[in-house]
């Protein structure tokens, strides 16, 4: 059996879904157009620089919706997927995922973006297994603004993949081949852990590393 892992934002999507969700909250009037957008942009800049304060970001980005009724959030999620994500679900990315599925590989999306944003996106790609940032919830099931467990960010992606495999009764050595597709140097730990790292729509920094190390470079989007 082979294991195929995919980053999401910038890799399977030509946008960052987390940042786009923040912009969508502003667009729909759920968040302040000045204060929230400024904060959302600032945290995104941290992420691009590889120094995101993940707990602070989660506390910030969930403020706009975590106290809303579940039905309201679900309706907004559906609108977000249809209006903002649907046009970004491009055939080259869909086809890549499908080829691995058709080959019988164990496929998972591994993303630093939280599960509320990404579960519907994974469903849209037809991917059952999603390893995303888990949000802590209180005894009523409401999101608190904290993180549950290890964030799936940088080296935390390796920890979360290993936890997921263990829950399936598997481990790295069970696979004849492991591949990970990513666009970002934030994912270097997991890229270095698999048998076949693939720099996918890479940032200039990741492309330079890929060229130096002889990793394949894949461009899914024009």
Given 7, 16, 18, 187, the catalytic residue: 7
**Has 7 been annotated as catalytic?**
yes
Q: What is the three-class DSSP state of 197?
A: strand
Low pLDDT (below 50) residues in the chain: none
Given 9, 18, 23, 105, the catalytic residue: 9
Quote the CA–CA distance of 175 and 3 in Å, as a whole number.
6
**Has 9 been annotated as catalytic?**
yes
Q: What is the pLDDT of residue 18?
A: 93
Q: What is the pLDDT of residue 53?
A: 95
**Which ranges constitute the DSSP H helices of the chain?**
17-27, 35-48, 54-61, 70-80, 91-102, 115-124, 156-167, 188-193, 204-213
Give the pair of three-digit tokens for residue 15: 């946008």
pTM: 0.95
Residues 93, 200 contacting (CB under 8 angstroms): no
Q: What is the pLDDT of residue 213?
A: 98
């Amino acid at each position: 059996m082979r294991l195929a892992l995919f980053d999401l934002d910038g890799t399977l999507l030509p946008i960052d879904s987390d940042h786009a969700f923040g912009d969508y909250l502003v667009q729909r009037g759920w968040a302040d157009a000045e204060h929230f957008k400024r904060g959302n942009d600032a945290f995104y800049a941290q992420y691009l620089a590889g120094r995101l304060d993940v707990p602070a970001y989660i506390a910030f980005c969930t403020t706009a919706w975590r106290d809303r009724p579940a039905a309201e959030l679900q309706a907004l999620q559906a609108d977000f997927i249809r209006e903002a994500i649907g046009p970004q679900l491009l055939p080259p990315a869909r086809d890549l995922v499908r080829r691995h599925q058709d080959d019988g590989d164990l496929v998972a999306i591994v993303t630093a973006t939280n599960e509320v944003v990404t579960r519907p996106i994974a469903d849209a790609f037809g991917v059952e297994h999603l390893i995303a940032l888990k949000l802590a919830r209180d005894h009523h099931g409401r999101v608190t603004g904290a993180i549950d467990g290890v964030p799936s960010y940088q080296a935390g992606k390796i920890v979360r993949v290993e936890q997921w495999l263990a829950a399936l009764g598997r481990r790295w050595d069970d696979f004849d081949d492991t591949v990970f597709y990513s666009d970002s140097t934030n994912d270097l730990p997991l890229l270095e852990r698999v048998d076949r790292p693939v720099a996918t729509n890479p940032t200039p920094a990741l492309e330079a590393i890929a060229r130096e190390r002889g990793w394949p470079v894949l461009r899914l989007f024009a």
